[in-house]
A and B are shown apart, each in its own frame.
Chain A
Amino acid sequence: GDSVTQMEGPVTLSEEAFLTINCTYTATGYPSLFWYVQYPGEGLQLLLKATKADDKGSNKGFEATYRKETTSFHLEKGSVQVSDSAVYFCALSDQRGRRALTFGSGTRLQVQP
């Protein structure tokens, strides 16, 4: 079945550092790929998405490129802020049948001033 693998956290960075959170997936067909962010005690917010190979999703300084050849969708940000501290989830959506999201286990990011 479909699966998503993320790098384990926590990831601890200083403010203004460069961020990369790795995400790889296994799926049949051509899934859509997503990054969600979850702040403490809150629900999930869509951060960005890409629906086909070579698409780049971007939002609030975060970027991720859909790489079909490496089955990856790594999240990057050039300069993180303390307010970016949260848990980040990579997910894929099958484009047939149930269209449900399959999530990775999440990566906690801690940004220190």
Chain B
Amino acid sequence: NAGVTQTPKFRILKIGQSMTLQCAQDMNHNYMYWYRQDPGMGLKLIYYSVGAGITDKGEVPNGYNVSRSTTEDFPLRLELAAPSQTSVYFCASIPGAAGNTIYFGEGSWLTVV
């Protein structure tokens, strides 16, 4: 199994540009998440989804949008990029049952200049 796949791995954006971080999982997991990790900090939840067609905000959703049209895919859209969005982004998924281990993607390093 490929697990959780994120693309791109690295990206440099100019202020005001938009882009989409892709996330796909092949484990038929219901729950999917987007986190961001700022330098020297822990991960903060941006958005999450408990199934296809259902998304909700986490702790730091401003400046981002998500969609979940299929079980496999959970793209994160950055609109009007700002330097404060320079971060490492992690996508993750779990099946949904209590106690399940969460699976992380390898991360996407984004710099906004």
Contact = CB atoms under 8 A, between A and B. Distances in A.
A and B part of one assembly: yes
Contacts of B56: 98
Contacts of A104: 42
Contact of A103 (B43, B94, B98, B99): B43
Contacts of B42: 4, 89, 91, 103-106
Contacts of B107: 42-43
Contacts of A27: none
Interface bin, chain B: 20 to 34
Contacts of A4: 42
B74 interface: no
A94 B10 CA distance: 31
B61 interface: no
Contacts of B96: 99
Contacts of B94: 99
Contacts of B53: none
Interface bin, chain A: 20 to 34
Nearest to A50: B99
A113 B109 CA distance: 31
Contact of B41 (A42, A51, A98, A106): A106
Contacts of B105: 43
B48 A98 contact: yes
A19 interface: no
Interface string A9-31: 00000000000000000000000
Contacts of A102: 45
A93 interface: yes
A101 interface: yes
Given A43-B107, A44-B90, A100 B101 contact: no
B112 interface: no
A101 B93 CA distance: 11
6 contacts: A49-B101, A51-B99, A89-B42, A99-B31, A101-B45, A106-B42
Identify the 8 closest CB pairs spanning chains A and B, nearest first: A103-B42, A51-B99, A95-B98, A103-B43, A43-B107, A105-B42, A43-B106, A44-B104
